[in-house]
Structure 1
Amino acid sequence: MGFATLDDTHNFAKKFSNYKDFYIKHNDLIFSKLGLGTFNKEPYKEENYVFHYIEGVKEAIRSGINLIDTASNYRYGQSEKEIGEALIELGNEVKREELIICSKGGFIQLDYPFPENPYTWINENIVDTGLATQDEIELDQHCMTPDYLEYSCKKSLKNLGVDELDIYYLHNPEIQLSTLGEKEFYKTIEKVFKRFEKLADDGLFKSYGVAVWNGFSSEGSELLSLEKLVDIAKKVGGENHRFKYIQFPFNMGKTSAYTKLTQKVNSEECTIIQAAHRLNIGVISSSSLLQMNLFKKSFTAETGVVLDDTMTLKNDIQLALQFVRSTPGIVSSLFGSKVPVHIKENCEISKVRSVKREKYDLLYKL
């Protein structure tokens, strides 16, 4: 099994010919405008291992989603393994090359079942094996030495049962910014990107990126410069570097990526979405439903009309997904769900056109 290809992702989209503008071409791939995320909060709860994503992944693909996102630490590798199981169970229904499969490395991926003493596990599996020193592990949970990230990526490939990833992200590097200091932090990023270029040469993934929580829209000590990251990628990989994507949370309750001037490109202030566009970096947004915290009260009727004047969409979850799917500059938006019927319902937004820019901007005035 190889990478996603333009022809195969295009063929996947054509299976859903009733969909209007639910697919977009970026970097010679066709992305569904919604992607399935497999994060589950509170990982220490046993229920996170009892209820799995296998049926949800299968339903997402059958409903037109071809972007599947995970991370090495999600449920201690269980999410990756269940994606792999889903791909096996789908059999000949879908080709690997029709799917854009992404994972992340940076957080320490403890084994499941959870080790009796995680500190001993870290020492035995990371420190004693020479993947990192104790000083290179932040808060006993995050590590971004090149050796550890290569180990983590190979473990993700094994969990997923695929030979290559389409996108591999450095996961939440901003966690280490204040500890390392800005100068040392970007030196570390250079080492990581250099290794990532080699791993791309070796065929472990086609493109790489950076996935953050606060890193691109924060105004505090975790703020990263996308321009600096691109300059580093050019330094280690040349003009044809493989740093192609960033991922960050964006939803109706967290809109700073579209509204706050947190970045600079050629000394001009801009939002992170604008910066990505100017630097030719694809944007994947996450946390589209803010772990269901958007729905403390119903959206206003005015919001509903702006997002869907056809009155086709039936609930606030669909409206929230229509919002992120319509945001200018975002390639695809991730949502998390384990329940097949909910996933199928969420994909009903594919039958409604995205909101045009001038109308979309009205939402920020309501």
Structure 2
Amino acid sequence: MATESGTHAYRNEHGDEFGRTYFRQLGDFAVSSIGVGTYLGDPTDEVDEAYHDAITTALSGGSNVIDTAINYRCQRSERVVGQALADSDVDRESVFVATKGGFVPFDGERPDNPGKFVKEEYVDSGLIDRDDLVRGSHCIAPDYIDDQLNRSLDNLGVDTIDCYYVHNPETQLLEKSEEELYDQLEATFTRLEERAAEGDIRHYGIATWTGLRVPRGHDDYLSLREIVSRARNAAKTAENTTTHFRVVQLPFNVVMADAFTVESQDGPEGDQSALWFAHEAGLNVMTSASIAQGDLAEELPDDVAERLNGDTTAQRAINFARSAPGVTCSLVGASDVTHVEENLDAGRFDPMGANAFDSVFE
């Protein structure tokens, strides 16, 4: 697992190569503010090889945050992350590895009949209660997440996962009430607290898509205050002295800035954005879709681009995401070595200051 000494040694080795605040604090760890995502791509050997080279390049070049999920590319993304970790010259203790569970994964390739696969592999086997399966593809029940965590440990070839996310919990709201969702999250958080106490994970959190960037009253809305409260309850139930709920992941970029602009969360002094709530609650934030899955590598709004540092459009887009208040790391999907090198070069520029960032929205 990542360690304080390992990640700080990594920062000391690479820190002088990058700009101000490139490395940031996550609990005891020092983590790079640019991380590698592994979502896109077909489930093929060719893409596996490309990701392997991209990840090892990132690790040797100054990025020590790797993000994946068990359902990405039919479990292939987790497996190639594990292989890259094993093959890299960078010590495992220097690398912060995160994965997710929630969406039902295929195994190596998409089956001809996905519904039949899910039924036979997960429902008929008893791993998933049919009442917990939403839209035939999503489950966050404790026993299921327990099973998925075990599979992720095997896929990654690690003893401990540094952060385990409940993946897009707002998906459950398609068929369940808010109270049912929060009750299930608390039960699952309790299981994750137990797994943290056992050493299988270091931290856990939620990875969202819409839930933390929509206004209150929206069908997908998630309350961070309620989620944090449920995590604290879970820690007490598991008899842990403090909660291991530490990180939230959400989309954030130039054209999806809702986590900063939409004041939908119930803060101590009134409504505030998800980013500000997370910051004041002591939570770390990882941004996904930091360059909108490649779209922002081509073009940025002129009035925004001129305020950002970077030699390329992609670099300026990355620097926008990691300049937002409260952001610990901006994840950028990359299965190409040249893209990884370009992304890392974004970190050689200083991020925007708080006042400069605020002025973008004036």
| Corresponding residue of 1:77 | 75
Q: Does 290-299 or 21-30 show the bigger shift?
A: 290-299
| Corresponding residue of 1:270 | 272
Q: Is the 8 A contact 1:299 1:316 kept in 2?
A: no
Q: What does 1:1-366 align with in structure 2 at a 5 Å threshold?
A: 3-16=1-14, 17-21=16-20, 22-40=22-40, 49=47, 52-90=50-88, 93-219=89-215, 220-238=218-236, 240-266=242-268, 268-295=270-297, 297-300=299-302, 302-308=303-309, 313-365=310-362
Q: If the length of structure 2 is used for normalisation, what is the TM-score?
A: 0.93
Q: Does 115-124 or 21-30 show the bigger shift?
A: 115-124
What is the CA-CA distance between 1:349 and the residue it aligns to?
A: 1.9
Query: Over aligned residue pairs, what C-alpha RMSD do you find?
Result: 1.8
Partner Cα separation in structure 2 for residue 70 and residue 265 of structure 1 = 31
Relative to structure 1, the CA distance from residue 49 to residue 139 in structure 2 (aligned partners, 3 Å threshold; closer, same or farther) is farther
- 2:25 is paired with a residue of what secondary structure? strand
What does the per-residue CA deviation read over 1:265-302, in whole Å, with 9 as the maximum and x for residues that have no partner?
246211001111222111111110111223564542x5
Relative to structure 1, the CA distance from residue 95 to residue 185 in structure 2 (aligned partners, 3 Å threshold; closer, same or farther) is same
Q: Is the 8 A contact 1:56 1:339 kept in 2?
A: yes
AA matched with 2:177 = G
AA matched with 2:222 = L
- 2:131 is paired with a residue of what secondary structure? helix
Relative to structure 1, the CA distance from residue 224 to residue 64 in structure 2 (aligned partners, 3 Å threshold; closer, same or farther) is same
What does the per-residue CA deviation read over 1:296-329, in whole Å, with 9 as the maximum and x for residues that have no partner?
64542x5344212xxxx22110100111121111
Partner Cα separation in structure 1 for residue 185 and residue 291 of structure 2 = 30
Aligned length, in residue pairs: 354
Q: Is the 8 A contact 1:71 1:105 kept in 2?
A: yes
Q: Is the 8 A contact 2:278 2:285 kept in 1?
A: yes
5+ residue gaps, structure 2, are: none
What is the CA-CA distance between 1:236 and the residue it aligns to?
A: 1.7
Relative to structure 1, the CA distance from residue 133 to residue 48 in structure 2 (aligned partners, 3 Å threshold; closer, same or farther) is farther
Partner Cα separation in structure 1 for residue 183 and residue 46 of structure 2 = 37
Relative to structure 1, the CA distance from residue 297 to residue 306 in structure 2 (aligned partners, 3 Å threshold; closer, same or farther) is closer
What does the per-residue CA deviation read over 1:227-281, in whole Å, with 9 as the maximum and x for residues that have no partner?
0011111112046011111000000010011111011024621100111122211
Partner Cα separation in structure 1 for residue 338 and residue 82 of structure 2 = 21
What does the per-residue CA deviation read over 1:103-144, in whole Å, with 9 as the maximum and x for residues that have no partner?
000000111132232222222221122221222111111011
